[in-house]
Amino acid sequence: MPAAFPNYLQIRDVGRRAVEFLMGLDRHDLELKRQRLDLELSECTPAWSAKRNEMQSVAELANARMQGVPTTPTISINDIEAAFLLAPDEDEWRPLEDMTSALRSRVADMREAEVPEVEDISDAAAEELAHLTELAGEQNANRNSLFRARQAELAQRASVARRLAALEEDLQKNLDAQKLRNFGSKIAETFAADYCPTCSQPIHDTLLAQQASAAVMPVEDNIEYIRSQRAIFQRLRG
């Protein structure tokens, strides 16, 4: 039977390590190497992520996308070589190499294409220019018409708003006058008298300007009239 192993030194797996030492195994050295590699890997992970984010930022500055780059460190050459960039092609994304080949092909076709002479296209260009000039004039006339209509609408809305504010003020004044008269207070009698206390000239029962030759409505009729006018302008305001 094996002797009792001392546990007071707090050595982890003391029995297994003692056997490995007596048999001359490299288990301990391998364990140290594994721990060292794990430490190096943990240090490489943040650096890998930072470099990957940097590459992604550079790709975005060029209006491209990075594809296939592993998110964690790897030593596989196949994984690294599988990464590629995507470039926009109208409504889709295509590999950058395919886009480069397509653009090179287009450049070659443009170089081989025959450039028309000015004399050959002058008449067609002049006709197209005249058509576009006429179209631009029509569009400009429509724009001016819409602008004037819009300005007129804004002016009308502002006028309606001012008229509504004036009607609200007149309505409140007439309601206050009616309330004072209905209460029968002396103050109301003083302010709502049928004659001027200074010159003794007759005063009509209205808040409008006093005109001897014009017939005026009493306060009650004024209130109803102002309310009907307010309803009309509220409908105009929409």
Structural domain including 26 reads: 14-109
Say if residues 204 and 216 touch (Cβ distance below 8 Å): yes
Asked whether residue 70 is assigned to any structural domain, the reply reads yes
Task: Tell me which residue has tokens 């886009």.
Answer: 99
pLDDT of residue 6: 60
Secondary structure element (H or E) that encloses residue 66, with its range: strand 65-67
Asked whether residue 86 is assigned to any structural domain, the reply reads yes
| Digit-coded pLDDT (tens) for 29-40 | 777 788 888 887
* Full-model pTM: 0.35
pLDDT of residue 20: 64
pLDDT of residue 138: 92
pLDDT of residue 16: 67
| Digit-coded pLDDT (tens) for 63-77 | 888 888 888 888 788
Q: What is the mean pLDDT of the chain?
A: 78
The whole-number average pLDDT for the span 42-60 is: 86
pLDDT of residue 2: 53
pLDDT of residue 207: 53
Please tell me the total count of domains within the chain.
1
For residue 135, what are its two tokens? 């179209």
Our CA dihedral for 224, 225, 230, 235, rounded to 10 degrees, sits at 100
Identify the band that residue 136 occupies on the pLDDT scale cut at 50, 70 and 90: very high
Asked whether residue 49 is assigned to any structural domain, the reply reads yes
Closest CA to 237 of 165, 166, 156: 156
Specify the range with the lowest mean pLDDT, choosing from 139-148, 151-160, 217-226: 217-226
Burial track 113-124 (b if 16+ CB lie within 10 A, e otherwise): eeeeeeeeeeee
Asked whether residue 176 is assigned to any structural domain, the reply reads no
For residue 151, what are its two tokens? 């300005």
Asked whether residue 5 is assigned to any structural domain, the reply reads no
Asked whether residue 195 is assigned to any structural domain, the reply reads no
The whole-number average pLDDT for the span 127-147 is: 91
Say if residues 135 and 205 touch (Cβ distance below 8 Å): no
The whole-number average pLDDT for the span 93-108 is: 88
- Distance from first CA to last CA of the chain, Å, rounded? 104
The whole-number average pLDDT for the span 80-96 is: 86
Asked whether residue 71 is assigned to any structural domain, the reply reads yes
Specify the range with the lowest mean pLDDT, choosing from 23-27, 150-154, 164-168, 216-220: 23-27
Helices (H), the chain: 14-22, 27-61, 77-81, 96-112, 118-183, 186-191, 219-237
Asked whether residue 2 is assigned to any structural domain, the reply reads no
| Digit-coded pLDDT (tens) for 179-203 | 888 877 544 444 445 555 545 566 5
Identify the band that residue 146 occupies on the pLDDT scale cut at 50, 70 and 90: very high
Higher confidence at residue 237 or residue 54?
54
For residue 177, what are its two tokens? 């006058």
Closest CA to 151 of 139, 163, 141, 143: 143
Burial track 75-105 (b if 16+ CB lie within 10 A, e otherwise): eeeeeeeeeebbbeeeeeeeebeebeeeeee
pLDDT of residue 140: 92
| Digit-coded pLDDT (tens) for 106-131 | 888 888 877 767 776 777 888 888 89
